[in-house]
Amino acid sequence: MKLIIKFILPLILVIGLIAYAVVPLVDSLTLKWFTKDVEIRSKLISSTLNESLIDLLNVPSKKKIEKLFNRVTQDERLNAIAFCDVNNKMLIKTSTFLEEITCSQVDDYNEYKVLKSGPIFVAGHSILDQDNKKLGQIIILHDLSFIDRRSAVTKKYIIYFFIALGLIISLITIIIARISIFGLIKGMRTLLKGDLLLDKQATNTSPEFDPIIKDLRNMVFELEKERRFRDEVRISWTPKALKGILQRELSGEEVIIVSNREPYIHTYKENKIEVHFPASGVVTAMEPVMRACSGTWIAHGGGSADKAVVDKNDRLTVPPNEPSYTLRRVWLSKEEEEGYYYGFANEGIWPLCHIAHVRPIFRKSDWDHYVAVNKKFAKAIKEEAKSKNPVILVQDYHFALLPKFINELLPEATIITFWHIPWPNPESFGICPWREEILDGILGSTIIGFHTQFHCNNFIDTVDRYLECRIDRANSSISFKGNLTAVNNYPISIEYPVKWSKDALSIEECSKKIRLKHNFSNSILLGLGIDRMDYTKGILERFHSIERFFELYPDWIGKFIFIQIAAPTRSSIDNYQRFSNEVHNLAEKINHRFSSESYQPIILLSQHHEPSEVFEYYRAVNFCYVSSLHDGMNLVAKEFIAARDDELGILILSQFTGAAQELPESIIINPYDIEQCSHAINKALTMSLIEQKERMQSMRSYIQEFNVYRWAGRMLMDSARVRRRNKIIGKLHL
């Protein structure tokens, strides 16, 4: 009985609170409802009397007007009527007109008033002749006391309704509770007997208790996950915090990052060596992590002066001004680079995973180079590892086979593979002739990370389709060839605050600098696109939407310019050459169509820009346009937000980016819908400063909290948990 009372009392309390909240709401709604009705009636009365009053005013007849007013006020709800001239002098009124109401108080408006005599509704309406000349105004007073009477009746019925509802629900609750408690006690007694929690094959329990058994079996895992979550919440995600996690959770183990693109490129220019920061989302994300954790970054050395600056072991310390980690360069022959990078990785895997309507090309010779280069990098990792169990972060689709090769050389290493691009569905991935070998290679990882849960699900479904393995979907893990691999989503982000902001020019100075550089007037509004010259970025669709924008909103011609920075990439691949030509041709066509002597709507900058230069463009424009046709995350969107410390500017963002799930305050578009995109441009250009600030403040707050240090920290914490679990399992087997 006590348990039943515990159910009933909160239920009655909640119903009572709802009733307490609803009753005043009914009063308010009733008042609004009837007031609106009276307002409509007053307008109707005024319009009805208008012609009669015009005739009577032309032939002054006060008695006739009074008689007309008295006849109208016979309605019990209509209290009184008066007529005021254009000088606010009351000429005629009924005997019931209230002295508190004067002509000067009422001038073409409606108002609810509560006087000593009771609530009334005052309505003033102008009387106009045939030439729309104002002859005066009519004041109508409505008696609203009937609202209180109706409201009282309504509240009484609502109270009766909630009392009845409470009694019925209480009765149903008592009956169900008595039945359920008996069954629950019986089931729990059965559950707590024997080895049910340990024996996954046990079937002598009711199906209703299967979820409870499953939850109890995963209790240790959930408690550990909760502990890590609490630790994560307490952490302020900074480089120092990331380093602390490495020291605390992983006992200061060395971190090795492996990527194809290097963080710093050395090139010759007029017999001098220059250092460049490449246009790469991977580098943008990983470089601040590496600065925080130290360790070694292993990458392909492709700069013309790269060999001139390394030591005899192909190493150098970077960044150039504040060395904090080691860069180890791996050299590839021209044939290896053509086959592994341009061939298999970018003519095969890249279009396969992006599903951007470009046919993947697979050649056996490219595959052979891909295998050889992955082995070459595995050997370099073995040479750089200072311990037998380093933490190795393998980056992206260039190294799908690398985890397996690392496992063969460093079986105790913790391998975190992060796939920066989308993972396709099983049917699409099945096109690849070496699909099983690629999956086998990736599953050498301790942890596999993707930007979104959708890509995690696609990967698990693909493995389930093509490999014989055990998959635990509840815990998102795969057991293959004795190796357990966790598959998690880690939405990547950027450094915050961005290092370029430290010495950056103000927003006003950046705007002035960019406008002076391109000879733009201050009245011109600017849009910006920042991409590599890649067919997955939707640059053609973006330009088509700009063309359509000018067709729909021709007033913007001469007042709006779009700047497209498109860094050249993979220019030796035919598809990229054709795409670059199409982009240039379309830009020329649009410029020819809408340009004038001193105006060109699209500025196409097809050259590499240093991050500090791009940062200035972010700060100078009115909006940034990201129209990727398929993207893992897209960090341009987050970089733009981080650059806008004035909390202004608009982000137009493709729904096919991972960032769209995290930044709903942006203007989300379908890049294939040219009409929708053109309207989005107009919305960005006309959005109020207040709305811009509200949207940008929310997005900046998100980027600040969910920065790249949090992204890396979560992976390191998960890897530490896996290492502890493996140690426990190892001891149990001894």
DSSP codes, 205-225: S-GGGHHHHHHHHTHHHHHHH
DSSP assignment, residue 555? G
Q: What is the pLDDT of residues 608-641, one digit of tens each?
A: 898 899 999 999 999 999 999 999 999 999 999 9
- 450 three-class SS: strand
The 90-93 sheet, strands edge to edge: 90-93, 78-85, 134-143, 118-128, 110-115
How much is the pLDDT for 201?
A: 46
Cβ(627)–Cβ(671) below 8 Å? yes
Omega of the bond prior to 497 within 30 degrees of 0, cis?
Answer: yes
Residues in contact with 601: Cβ distance below 8 Å, sequence separation at least 6, in sequence order? 546, 550, 557, 560, 561, 562, 590, 591, 594, 595
Top-confidence residue, 120 or 29: 120
Task: Note the pLDDT of residue 195.
Answer: 42
197 band by pLDDT with thresholds 50, 70 and 90: very low
Query: Does 584 lie in the same domain as 442?
Result: no
Which DSSP state fits 596?
Answer: B
Q: Is the pLDDT of residue 156 over 90?
A: no
pLDDT at 272 over 80: yes
Residues 640-687 have pLDDT tens digits of 999 999 999 999 999 999 999 999 999 999 999 999 999 999 999 999
Question: What CATH number does residue 42 fall under?
Answer: 3.30.450.20
Q: How many domains does the chain have?
A: 3
Strands 325-330 and 315-318: antiparallel
Same structural domain for residues 405 and 534? Answer: no
- Per the structure, the complete domain to which residue 39 belongs is given by 2-150
The percent of residues in the chain predicted with pLDDT above 90, rounded, is 54
C-beta separation of 19 from 162 below 8 A: yes
Confidence band (pLDDT; 50, 70, 90) for 219? low
pLDDT in tens, 15-70: 777 777 777 777 677 777 777 777 787 888 888 888 777 777 776 677 778 888 88
- Average pLDDT of every residue of the chain: 86
Nearest to 378 by CA among 425, 415, 348: 415
Longest distance between any two alpha carbons in the chain, whole Å: 115
Same domain? 398 vs 267:
yes
As separate numbers, helices (DSSP H) first and strands (DSSP E) second, the chain gives: 24, 23
Q: Are residues 439 and 532 in the same domain?
A: no
Q: Establish if 402 belongs to a structural domain.
A: yes
In the chain, the amino acid numbered 323 is P
Q: Tell me the three state secondary structure of residue 429.
A: helix
* Model confidence band, residue 194 (pLDDT cutoffs 50, 70, 90): very low
Same domain assignment for residues 300 and 407: yes
Q: How far is CA 549 from CA 120, 559, 572, in A?
A: 53, 13, 34
Which of 24, 134, 25, 42 has its CA nearest to residue 82? 42
Q: What is the dihedral sign for C-alpha 454, 455, 458, 464? A: negative
Contact predicate 265/302, CB 8 Å: yes
389 and 516 housed in the same domain: no
Greater model confidence, 222 or 435? 435
| Model confidence pLDDT, tens digit, residues 281-323 | 788 888 888 888 889 999 999 899 999 999 999 999 999 888 9
Co-location of 565 and 435 in the same domain: no
Q: State how far the alpha carbon of 429 is from the alpha carbons of 250, 348, 703, in Å.
A: 35, 11, 32
Region 61-86: what's the mean pLDDT? 79
| Domain contains 537 | yes
Q: Are residues 459 and 608 in the same domain?
A: no
Last residue of a domain, one of 489, 520, 549: 489
Q: Is the distance from CB of 42 to CB of 123 less than 8 angstroms?
A: yes
The per-residue DSSP string of 12-66 comes to: HHHHHHHHHHHHHHHHHHHHHHHHHHHHHHHHHHHHHHHHHHHHHHHTT-HHHHH
Same domain assignment for residues 141 and 29: yes
Instruction: Give the model confidence (pLDDT) of 544-598 as tens digits.
Output: 999 999 999 999 999 999 999 999 988 888 899 999 999 999 999 999 999 998 8
DSSP-assigned letter for residue 275: E
Statement: residue 259 has pLDDT above 80: yes
Residue 716 in contact with residue 246, Cβ under 8 Å?
yes
Q: Which candidate, 266, 402, 386, places its Cα nearest to that of 340? A: 402
In a domain, 198, yes or no: no
Given 489, 513, 540, the domain boundary residue is 489
Residue 499 located in a structural domain:
no
Q: How high is the pLDDT of residue 163?
A: 75
**Cα(55)–Cα(62) distance, rounded to whole angstroms?**
12
Which of the 8 DSSP states describes residue 103?
G
pLDDT exceeds cutoff 60 at 218: no
* Beta-carbon contacts of residue 70 (< 8 Å; ≥ 6 apart): 94
Confidence tier at 131 by pLDDT (50, 70, 90): confident
Examine the pLDDT at 209 and tell me if it is beyond 70: no
Q: Where are the alpha helices (DSSP H) in 280-401?
A: 281-293, 306-309, 334-336, 350-354, 364-384
**Terminal CA-CA length for the chain:** 53
Cα gap 108→126, rounded to integer Å: 6
How much is the pLDDT for 734? 46
Yes or no: say if 401 and 371 are a contact pair by the CB < 8 Å rule: yes
Confidence bin at 186 (pLDDT 50/70/90): low
Same domain flag for 520 and 662:
yes
693 lies in some domain: yes
Domain boundary among 114, 129, 150: 150
